[in-house]
């Protein structure tokens, strides 16, 4: 989708559809007022008939409104003007794109930037609107046997400016938002790719492609023989059960001086998770193509960062493996030695994400990081605790945690901080090793984070459990959400703006 800006009288603009907002109590937005005036009160007449009351997310499509060049006007309900907030603005954008998809219009003039967004500025509203538009238009069709003919005909959406002086700000916001949504789309695409195609090698190839696409990116792949030299026994205990070799993928964005400390993001990339010898129930095992959404979010964020040309150093690390049962697979009761020198008793081979991550988190200390954030579909317990609305946040540093909370509130890609108090550590103590990889039924997401915390004491660290937010499984509406690419990109933007 292409995005641009326009100014001037919307009634005279040559476009195939104009999208305007109307509030409750027959209150017109600024653009709706201009169109009503041009049409000699036509829109107010429609409102008085009661076909639309201006309630949130109501829509009404008008055709051939007098004295308006566009053959269509889409009215979108904005709710009560006195109680407008950011969430409602985003919901309005989501509603608008659903209706735009159904209209046979190649170009559309969107006049929603003028609407109230709970105190948010033009750049914020532009970015959120493009996010919603791109999400609404997204379809994963790579695996269709025949090319799918999309009913979507919209090619260009222009944003109406009430002040020409806003053009630079909005145009810059469009460029940043397009880089962000390119990253979100890339994350969705790789996450939705089935496991017979999306292997650790596939993820490595995708990371190498990033280096070809962006001059600021370099990619390095550690093979299993390299991991053996580094002593990554926990990681290799997961990958050894599969014919697909594991990969540790390092993606570097160089946007600042070499001496500047990088911010590091680490993604869990289990391309398929059977549970290993601790086999999962078969009924919903197909969902485990999404056990690499942490890796997908790293790929997406690195693409967004490079596209936005952030003036900072960022390192993305992907711990990619397939967890399969075989004669070579690790067994419950095995004890392995991690890169850190600590030993782990594997009581459940289905708690494999923390095993690949612990070695990756030890490895990234070599970068002398400013902060480290790992992202993983780690525990079903987090889904039970927070559902699909908030990502679970755990951290050993209050400033990092606060920064992530702030970024989440700003973008509405929210997180909720949970404890990793020392009292929980006792649940993963082992009689035979330094620790065990599960902590029992209680506080499952917390004890998983406590496990990772034992490998992150040398730097400022946060863990994002995205098990509930990274994907949805709802029939034809299933698929990856692209979260938390928006959150991570905002967090990194905020850090870049600090310097």
Catalytic residues: 280, 354
Burial 106-143 (b: 16+ CB within 10 A, else e): ebbbbbbbbbbbeebebbbbbbbbbbbbbbbbbeeeee
DSSP helix/strand/coil, 69: coil
Distance in angstroms (rounded) separating the CA atoms of residues 466 and 488: 12
Distance in angstroms (rounded) separating the CA atoms of residues 94 and 89: 9
The string of DSSP codes covering 180-217 is HHHHHHHHHHHHHS-TTT--HHHHHHHHHHHHHH-TTE
Distance (Å) of CA 129 to CA 20, 91, 136, 139, 172: 14, 9, 10, 18, 14
CB 114 within 8 A of CB 161: no
DSSP helix/strand/coil, 22: strand
Residue 20: count other Cβ atoms within 10 Å of its Cβ.
29
Q: Provide the 8-state DSSP code for 388.
A: T
CB 178 within 8 A of CB 129: no
Residue with tokens 């959150």: 487
Residue with tokens 């009913």: 151
Q: Provide the 8-state DSSP code for 82.
A: G
Strands (E), 350-417: 371-376, 391-395, 415-417
Q: Which two tokens stand for residue 303?
A: 């693409």
Rg of the chain taking only CA atoms, in angstroms? 25
DSSP helix/strand/coil, 118: coil
CB 362 within 8 A of CB 234: no
Q: Give the torsion sign (CA, 326, 327, 330, 332).
A: positive
Question: What are φ and ψ of residue 400, in 5° steps?
Answer: -60, -45
Distance in angstroms (rounded) separating the CA atoms of residues 396 and 454: 10
The string of DSSP codes covering 266-316 is EEEEEEEE--TTSPPPGGGGGGGGGTTHHHHHHHHHHHHHHHHT-SSEEEE
Residue 69: count other Cβ atoms within 10 Å of its Cβ.
15
């Amino acid at each position: 989708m292409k995005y641009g800006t326009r100014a001037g009288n919307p009634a005279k603009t040559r476009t195939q559809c104009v999208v305007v907002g109307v509030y409750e109590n027959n209150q017109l937005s600024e653009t709706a007022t201009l169109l009503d005036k041009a049409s000699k009160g036509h829109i107010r007449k429609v409102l008085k008939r009661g076909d639309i009351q201006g309630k949130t997310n109501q829509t009404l499509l008008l055709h051939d409104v007098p004295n308006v060049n566009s053959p269509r006007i889409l009215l979108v309900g904005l709710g009560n003007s006195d109680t407008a907030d950011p969430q409602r603005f985003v919901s309005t954008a989501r509603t608008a794109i659903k209706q735009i998809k159904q209209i046979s219009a190649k170009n559309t003039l969107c006049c929603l930037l003028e609407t109230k967004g709970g105190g948010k500025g033009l750049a914020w509203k532009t970015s959120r609107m493009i996010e919603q538009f791109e999400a609404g238009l997204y379809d994963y069709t790579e695996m269709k046997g025949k090319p799918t003919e999309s009913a979507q005909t919209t090619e260009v959406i222009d944003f109406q400016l009430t002040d020409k002086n806003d053009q630079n700000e909005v145009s810059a916001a469009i460029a940043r938002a397009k880089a962000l949504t390119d990253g979100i789309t890339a994350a969705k695409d790789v996450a939705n790719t089935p496991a017979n195609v999306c292997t650790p090698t596939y993820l490595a190839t995708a990371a190498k492609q990033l280096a070809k696409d962006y001059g600021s990116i370099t990619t390095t792949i550690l093979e299993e023989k390299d991991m053996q030299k580094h002593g990554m026994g926990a990681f290799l205990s997961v990958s050894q059960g599969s014919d697909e070799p594991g990969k540790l993928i390092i993606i570097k964005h160089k946007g600042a001086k070499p001496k500047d400390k990088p911010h590091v993001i680490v993604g869990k990339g289990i391309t398929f998770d059977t549970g290993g010898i601790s086999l999962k129930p078969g009924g919903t095992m197909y969902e485990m193509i999404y056990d690499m959404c942490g890796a997908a979010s790293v790929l997406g964020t690195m693409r967004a960062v490079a596209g936005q040309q952030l003036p900072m150093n960022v390192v993305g690390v992907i711990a990619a493996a397939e967890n399969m049962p075989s004669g070579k697979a690790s067994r419950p009761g095995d004890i392995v030695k991690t890169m850190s020198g600590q030993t782990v008793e594997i009581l459940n081979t289905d708690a494999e994400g923390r095993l690949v991550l612990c070695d990756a988190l030890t490895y990234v200390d070599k970068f002398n990081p400013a902060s480290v954030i790992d992202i993983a579909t780690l525990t079903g317990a987090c889904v039970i605790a927070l559902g699909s609305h908030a990502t679970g946040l755990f951290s050993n540093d209050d400033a990092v945690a606060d920064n992530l909370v702030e970024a989440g509130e700003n973008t509405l890609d929210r997180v909720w901080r949970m404890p990793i108090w020392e009292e929980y550590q006792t649940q993963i103590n082992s009689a035979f090793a330094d620790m065990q990889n599960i902590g029992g039924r209680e506080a499952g997401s917390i004890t998983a984070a406590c496990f990772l915390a034992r490998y992150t004491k040398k730097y400022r660290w946060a863990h994002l459990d995205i098990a509930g937010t990274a994907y949805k499984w709802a029939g034809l509406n299933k698929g990856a959400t692209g979260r938390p690419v928006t959150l991570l990109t905002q967090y990194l933007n905020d850090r870049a703006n600090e310097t």
